[in-house]
Structure 1
């Protein structure tokens, strides 16, 4: 269930980035591809680059913490095997 939710969120972020990148003269394919693989981090960076600095930085910080927790959780799980 969690993987499906993450995939759906990535799809929505990809669509958002692809549509809005053209408004700011950015490459929509690049932003869509990055958004699909790195979703929240890419969305935060896009918002920072398009003058939505506060919300962009909040997303970057939150996604960095989440990625860190996921990495620590995976390392802990693997070390307990």
Structure 2
């Protein structure tokens, strides 16, 4: 279920970036690919590039913090699986 949510979020971001990039004179194919692969980080950078800097920086920083937290949690899970809880 979580994988479906992430995929659906990336597809929605891709559609938004493709439609909105045409309005701002940006390459819609490039932003669509970046949005699908990188998700919220690409959205944050796009918002910064289209002069919506405050919300762009907020989205970018929060997504980077989220990805770092995910990496930390996965790393701790692997460490506990290898070493054990004792």
**TM-score, normalization by structure 2:** 0.88
5+ unaligned residues in a row in structure 2: which ranges? 82-86
The corresponding residue for 2:72 is 72
Shift of 1:74: 1.4
Provide, for residues 7-48 of structure 1, a one-character-per-residue CA deviation record: whole Å limited to 9, x for no partner: 111100000001111112211111111101111110011001
Structure 1 stretches of 4+ with a deviation exceeding 2 A read none
Structure 1: how far apart are the matches of 2:32 and 2:77?
Answer: 32
The corresponding residue for 1:8 is 8
5+ unaligned residues in a row in structure 1: which ranges? none
The corresponding residue for 2:34 is 34
Structure 2: how far apart are the matches of 1:68 and 1:74?
Answer: 10
Higher-Rg structure is: 2
Structure 1: how far apart are the matches of 2:78 and 2:37?
Answer: 23
